């Protein structure tokens, strides 16, 4: 009976406040309290006790109570942020136009002429997306042409740089956007390419439909 009680105490949880009985063997038992009775000692724990020879207990040590561990702070969940509304092609064009101080109708017209305002449009020559960026042009501008926001922004930025290059000459800038600055520089103006000439006319027509009279 005593042996079973001793084993129980050895395995008992140390979560309870009390004291430690230091046995002659060097083992320490966590108990609630003890009572000495002549040559015997009773070690109480969890509503029961075990009795043993007092010679088996070397000493008793008070348990040092540590402050209870602080309860873990509640997880800080970020305040839900409403996902930004997916912008329409026209909204992308307007935002880019405003960013680079371009007429909204111009950027919308170029985008419509280039890709019919389709993000997944790919030309036979490999131009990508809404404003039809060639991969090498996109790389030079540091953007992902498959991302609609980056694509339209870069297209408007490129168009703005062409207008600056040709001192505000819209036809020159549009021709360079379509055929490349090299062709415009070679012919010192709009190159005699049927595709480029038709391209400028389509952009002009779309701008006029928007109520803007473009100037060469």
Task: Report helix angle 170-179 to 194-209, nearest 10.
Answer: 130
DSSP letter for 213, please: -
> 149 burial class (0-12, 13-18, 19+ CB within 10 angstroms)?
middle
DSSP letter for 67, please: P
Structure tokens at 115: 């890709």
114 is catalytic: yes
Which distant-in-sequence residues (6+ apart) come within 8 Å of 61 by Cβ? Answer: 19, 20, 22, 28
Gyration radius of the chain over CA positions: 42
Q: What is the DSSP string of 89-155?
A: HHHHHHHHHHHTT--HHHHHHHHHHHHTT-TT-B-TT--BTTTTB-HHHHHHHT--TTSHHHHHHHH
187 vs 16, 49, 152, 175, CA distance in Å?
94, 107, 28, 11
Phi-psi region of 117 (alpha: psi -120 to 50; beta: other; left: phi over 0): left
Q: Which of 114, 136, 195, 213 is catalytic?
A: 114
Catalytic residues: 114
């Amino acid at each position: 009976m005593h042996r079973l009680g001793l084993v129980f105490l050895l395995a008992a949880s140390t979560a309870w406040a009390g004291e430690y009985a230091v046995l002659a063997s060097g083992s320490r038992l966590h108990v609630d309290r003890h009572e000495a009775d002549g040559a015997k000692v009773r070690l109480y724990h969890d509503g029961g006790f075990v009795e043993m020879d007092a010679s088996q207990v070397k000493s008793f040590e008070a348990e040092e109570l540590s402050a209870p561990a602080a309860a873990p702070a509640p997880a800080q969940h970020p305040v839900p942020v409403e996902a930004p509304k997916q912008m329409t092609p026209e909204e992308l064009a307007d935002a880019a136009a405003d960013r680079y101080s371009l007429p909204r109708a111009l950027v919308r017209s170029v985008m419509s002429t280039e890709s019919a305002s389709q993000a997944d449009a790919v030309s036979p020559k490999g131009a990508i997306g809404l404003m039809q960026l060639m991969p090498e042009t996109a790389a030079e501008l540091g953007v992902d042409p498959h991302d609609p926001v980056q694509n339209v922004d870069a297209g408007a930025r490129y168009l703005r740089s062409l207008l600056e290059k040709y001192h505000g000459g819209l036809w020159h800038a549009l021709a360079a956007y379509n055929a490349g600055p090299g062709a415009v520089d070679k012919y010192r103006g709009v190159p005699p390419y049927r595709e480029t000439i038709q391209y400028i006319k389509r952009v002009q027509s779309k701008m006029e439909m928007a109520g803007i009279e473009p100037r060469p």
